[in-house]
Amino acid sequence: MSAIIVLLADETQQETLVNFVTQHENVLSHYRLIGVDNLAGSLKQKTWLNVETVLPLQQGGDIVIASKIITGEEIVAVIYWVDPIKTTLYELPLLTLFRVCNLHNIPIATNTGTAEAIIVQLRRTRSAYLIFNPVSGVGNANQDLLLIRQLLEPYFHLKVYLTTPETDPTELAREALEQQVDLVIASGGDGTVSAVAGAVINTNIPLGIIPRGTANAFSVALGIPTNTQGACEVIIAGLIRTIDAAYCNGLPMILLAGIGFEAETVSKADRDAKKRWGPLAYIMAGWQQLNEQTDFETEIEINGEMSQFEAAAITVANVAPATSVLAQGLGQVIPDDGLLEVLMYTSPVDKMQALAGMVRLLGAGLLKTELQRDNMIGFRTQSIKITTNPPQKVVLDGEIIGTTPIEVKCVSRGLKILSPAFSSFPPIEEIATLNEVEMDEYREQIN
């Protein structure tokens, strides 16, 4: 069970306390909060925090809180906003709480200065494990790491581990979980992020992302800034969203698996080309691949049912930005619907036809509208098996992993991400608890 913070205020100070809690919602959301009825009601109107209630202080609420401290419940702080004019230290509720907190070494704050000091300390006690890939991207890795430390260390107890050719990001992430950290942060390209995410799937440990790769498709899809300072600010804000993940041939998949055209394109865009040209390297490689791509026999299996097609490109997407052109066609790729989005394409007649088709797909992705084409088959499924003849290369989250066949399974809402995406909406897991008025407000936001 989470550690507890007690929130109390004299009648004249309740608005001040509500404003303080709203300001520091990102920190307080990681704790179990206890307060009196009227405070809980006020906070529910302004935040998504859940506050457990106790009796009013004059009716014994102070004794209830004191008993929790005495019996060893993990209370890390008491914030009690006191009216500096009307309340004295000899008031019984305040005196009771002061005495018990002093006996049990619990910090107690009665004004803005002392409450802010508690918040600063709470931030620094949260542990974060940064997995940093120094060869990702085209910038100066040492400068990037220095900036990350400067931005995050005031808010977290930060441990930094660098990936090497001998040190797999997944193993580093597993070591972090063994140390029971509060947060795992991946800094690198989509491959690094995918490897780290694979270790935290279904662990309830949130993943922070500082994108430093060539495409940074996962970050773009979730609205995470692709600059270091912006990404760190998202992590500090602490907004957690729960999305789907997947496994492809037992390997973690957060973005998509590509067969045929996309895999061959990634294969042609080597690291030197990406360092020199950035995302343009993929476009150049794709234009070259159009001359060479041919259809191949494809057999898919869904829930025991078999179907056969001719295809030149297949994508199986969990999350994809609009710029992942071949993942578009069914409208918006939904990151938390518990389904994979499968798109299959046959070869176009010539390059200009292919280019026109890709432009239309890009437009569909940007506008989040469904696009139907004669040479496209699209559907959603929870799992799929794909076999091709001859075997085709497979790219998984930006990395070539071998050749077909593949089996992909969705892990519904298996990954917690620190993300600004949908920040005006309530967390998904709380939607079911909304009352009728709140649900109407939520519908207005998403329409």
- Altogether, the residues listed in the chain come to a count of 447
CA distance from start to end of the chain: 37
pTM: 0.67
Evaluate whether 126-237 and 253-411 have a shared fold: no
Strand 340-345 and strand 313-317: the pairing is antiparallel
Tokens describing residue 215? 């495409």
User: 6: left (phi > 0), else alpha (psi -120 to 50), else beta?
Assistant: beta
pLDDT tens digit at each of 447 positions of the chain? 578 999 988 888 888 888 898 888 878 877 889 988 777 777 777 777 888 888 887 788 888 899 999 998 889 999 998 887 776 655 667 788 888 999 999 999 988 899 999 988 887 778 899 999 998 877 899 999 999 999 998 888 899 999 998 888 999 999 999 888 889 999 998 889 999 999 999 998 999 999 998 778 899 888 899 999 999 999 988 888 899 999 999 999 999 888 877 665 655 455 554 455 454 444 444 445 455 556 788 899 998 889 888 888 888 989 887 555 565 555 677 889 899 988 888 755 444 444 344 434 334 344 354 545 556 788 889 999 999 999 998 888 878 899 999 999 999 999 999 988 444 334 434 444 444 544 444 444 433
107: cis peptide before it, omega within 30°? no
Select which of 62, 144, 244, 397 is catalytic.
Answer: 62
Residue 62: active-site member: yes
CATH numeric code, 253-411? 2.60.200.40
* Per-position b or e across 21-57, b if 16+ CB within 10 A of its CB: beebbebbbbbbbbbbeebbebbeeeebbebeebeeb
Quick one: CATH architecture of 4-123? Answer: 3-Layer(aba) Sandwich (3.40)
Top CATH class, 126-237: alpha beta
- Amino acid type, 363: G
Residue 62 has what pLDDT?
86
- Amino acid type, 210: I
Domain boundaries, the chain: 4-123, 126-237, 253-411
Alpha-carbon distances, residue 346 vs 169, 340, 365 (angstroms): 36, 20, 19
CB distance 403 to 387 below 8 Å: no
